[in-house]
Amino acid sequence: MSKLKIITLLFGLNFVILNNLQSQVDFYNYEQVREIRIEFYDDNWKSILDSLFSAEDNFSRIKADVIIDGNRYKECGIRYKGFSSWNANEVKNPFNINLDYTYKNQNHQGYKKLKLSNVIYDPSFVREVVSYDIARKYMPASGANFANLYINDTLIGLYTNVEAVDDCFVEKHFGGSKNPFFKGNPEKLLYPYGQNANLAHSHGSDSSGYMPYYSIESEHGWEELYNLIYVLNLDTANLYDVLNIDRALWMHALNYSLLNLDSYIAYAQNYYLYQENNGVFSTIPWDLNMSFGSFRHSDGSTNFSGLTIAKLETLNPLQHLTFSISPRPLMKNLFLNSTYKKMYLAHIRTIIDENIANNYYYDLGTHLHSVIDTYVVNDTNKFYLYEDFVANIDTTTGSSSEQYPGLKSLMEARYNYLDAYYGMRGNPEFVENYTSVDIAVRGEKISFYTKLNSPANVRMYYRFNSEEKFVYIIMNDDGETDDLTEGDNVYSASIVPQGKLLQYYFWAENDSAGTFLPCRAAYNFFEIPVRVEPGEIKINEVSLNNALNEYEILPSDLTWIELYNNTNERLSIVSAKLYYKGLNFEIHDTIISEFGYFLFSPEEFYFTDFENLYPFSDNYLYLSYKTEKILDSIRIYSCSNNRTIGLFPDGSNECKVLFPTPSMTNLMLENEISPISLYPNPVSDVLFCNINVKFAIEKVLIYNYLGQILYCKQCDGLSSYSFNVNTLEWSDGVYYVKFVGERNCLSSKFIKQ
pLDDT digits (tens, 9 = 90+) for 99-156: 999 988 788 888 999 999 999 999 999 999 999 999 999 999 999 999 999 999 999 9
Q: Which residue has the higher pLDDT, 715 or 176?
A: 176
Query: Residue 347's pLDDT is what?
Result: 98
Angle among Cα 219, 225, 228 to the nearest 5 degrees reads 150
Q: Which residue has the higher pLDDT, 460 or 660?
A: 460
Question: Mind listing the pLDDT tens digit for each residue in 682-696?
Answer: 888 888 887 877 678
Instruction: Tell me what the mean pLDDT of segment 238-264 comes to.
Output: 98
pLDDT above 70 for 370: yes
* Rounded-to-integer distance, Cα 127 and Cα 692, Å: 46
- Asked if the domains 6-10+427-528 and 675-752 are classified in one and the same CATH topology, the answer is yes
Query: Residue 23's pLDDT is what?
Result: 33
pLDDT above 90 for 58: no
* Rounded-to-integer distance, Cα 269 and Cα 197, Å: 6
pLDDT confidence tier of residue 495, bands split at 50, 70 and 90: very high
Q: What are phi and psi of 493, to 5 degrees?
A: -160, 155
Query: Residue 700's pLDDT is what?
Result: 84
Q: Please tell me what DSSP assigns to residue 576.
A: -
Query: Residue 555's pLDDT is what?
Result: 81
| Segment 420-423 long-range contacts (CB within 8 Å, at least 24 positions apart) | 421/317, 421/345, 422/512, 423/341, 423/342, 423/345, 423/512, 423/513
Query: Residue 95's pLDDT is what?
Result: 97
Those residues with Cβ within 8 angstroms of residue 655's Cβ, 6 or more apart along the chain or in another chain: 634, 635, 645, 646, 647
Those residues with Cβ within 8 angstroms of residue 439's Cβ, 6 or more apart along the chain or in another chain: 528, 529, 530, 531, 574, 575
pLDDT above 60 for 413: yes
Instruction: Tell me what the mean pLDDT of segment 178-206 comes to.
Output: 94
Q: Return the CATH class of domain 537-670.
A: mainly beta
Residue ranges of the domains in the chain? Answer: 6-10+427-528, 32-167, 537-670, 675-752
Counting every residue written for the chain, the total comes to 753
pLDDT above 50 for 5: no
Q: Which residue has the higher pLDDT, 271 or 103?
A: 271
pLDDT above 70 for 15: no
* Rounded-to-integer distance, Cα 337 and Cα 345, Å: 12
pLDDT above 60 for 422: yes
pLDDT confidence tier of residue 218, bands split at 50, 70 and 90: very high
Cα dihedral 650→653→655→658 (10° resolution) = -10
* Rounded-to-integer distance, Cα 693 and Cα 36, Å: 36
pLDDT confidence tier of residue 19, bands split at 50, 70 and 90: very low
Query: Residue 715: which H helix or E strand, with range?
Result: none
Question: Mind listing the pLDDT tens digit for each residue in 301-348?
Answer: 999 999 999 999 999 999 999 999 999 999 999 999 999 999 999 999
Distance (Å) of CA 95 to CA 661, 664, 748: 45, 41, 36
In the sheet that holds 490-495, the strands lie side by side as: 430-435, 446-452, 490-495
Residue 111 pairs in a beta bridge with: 108
- The mean-pLDDT minimum among 11-15, 479-483, 683-687, 747-751 falls in 11-15
Positive or negative: CA dihedral 141, 147, 152, 156: positive
HSE-up (13 A, CA, CB side) for residue 638: 9
* Rounded-to-integer distance, Cα 163 and Cα 136, Å: 12
Q: What are phi and psi of 566, to 5 degrees?
A: -90, 20
Query: Residue 12's pLDDT is what?
Result: 27
- The mean-pLDDT minimum among 279-293, 484-498, 655-669 falls in 655-669
Query: Residue 2's pLDDT is what?
Result: 41
pLDDT above 80 for 63: yes
Query: Residue 6's pLDDT is what?
Result: 38
* Rounded-to-integer distance, Cα 222 and Cα 209, Å: 10
**pTM summary value:** 0.87
pLDDT above 90 for 55: no
Q: Which residue has the higher pLDDT, 587 or 37?
A: 37
Distance (Å) of CA 270 to CA 165, 213, 229, 300: 11, 12, 17, 14
* Rounded-to-integer distance, Cα 741 and Cα 746, Å: 9
Query: Residue 10's pLDDT is what?
Result: 29
Q: Let me know: does 598 contact 736? Beta carbons within 8 Å.
A: no
| 3-class DSSP assignment, residue 49 | helix
Percent of the chain exceeding pLDDT 70 equals: 92
Q: Return the CATH class of domain 675-752.
A: mainly beta
Q: Let me know: does 22 contact 364? Beta carbons within 8 Å.
A: no
Query: Residue 193's pLDDT is what?
Result: 86
Q: Let me know: does 445 contact 492? Beta carbons within 8 Å.
A: no
Q: Let me know: does 33 contact 148? Beta carbons within 8 Å.
A: yes
Query: What is the average pLDDT score of the chain?
Result: 89
- The mean-pLDDT minimum among 167-176, 400-409, 575-584 falls in 575-584
* Rounded-to-integer distance, Cα 43 and Cα 193, Å: 42
Query: Residue 699's pLDDT is what?
Result: 80
* Rounded-to-integer distance, Cα 459 and Cα 437, Å: 20
pLDDT above 60 for 17: no
How remote is the C-alpha of 371 from its chain's centroid? 26
Q: Let me know: does 253 contact 240? Beta carbons within 8 Å.
A: no
Q: Let me know: does 549 contact 557? Beta carbons within 8 Å.
A: yes
pLDDT above 60 for 21: no
Query: Residue 713's pLDDT is what?
Result: 74
pLDDT confidence tier of residue 742, bands split at 50, 70 and 90: low
- What is 6-10+427-528's CATH topology? Immunoglobulin-like (2.60.40)
pLDDT above 70 for 428: yes
What percent helix, strand, coil does the chain show, rounded to 5? 20, 30, 50
Query: Residue 740's pLDDT is what?
Result: 79
For the chain, report the end-to-end CA distance as a whole number of angstroms. 44
Q: Let me know: does 590 contact 573? Beta carbons within 8 Å.
A: yes
Distance (Å) of CA 615 to CA 411, 537, 609: 68, 21, 12
- The mean-pLDDT minimum among 141-150, 354-363, 538-547, 664-673 falls in 664-673
pLDDT confidence tier of residue 516, bands split at 50, 70 and 90: very high
pLDDT confidence tier of residue 375, bands split at 50, 70 and 90: very high
Instruction: Tell me what the mean pLDDT of segment 439-464 comes to.
Output: 96
Query: Residue 593's pLDDT is what?
Result: 85
Query: Residue 640's pLDDT is what?
Result: 74
Q: What are phi and psi of 205, to 5 degrees?
A: -105, 15
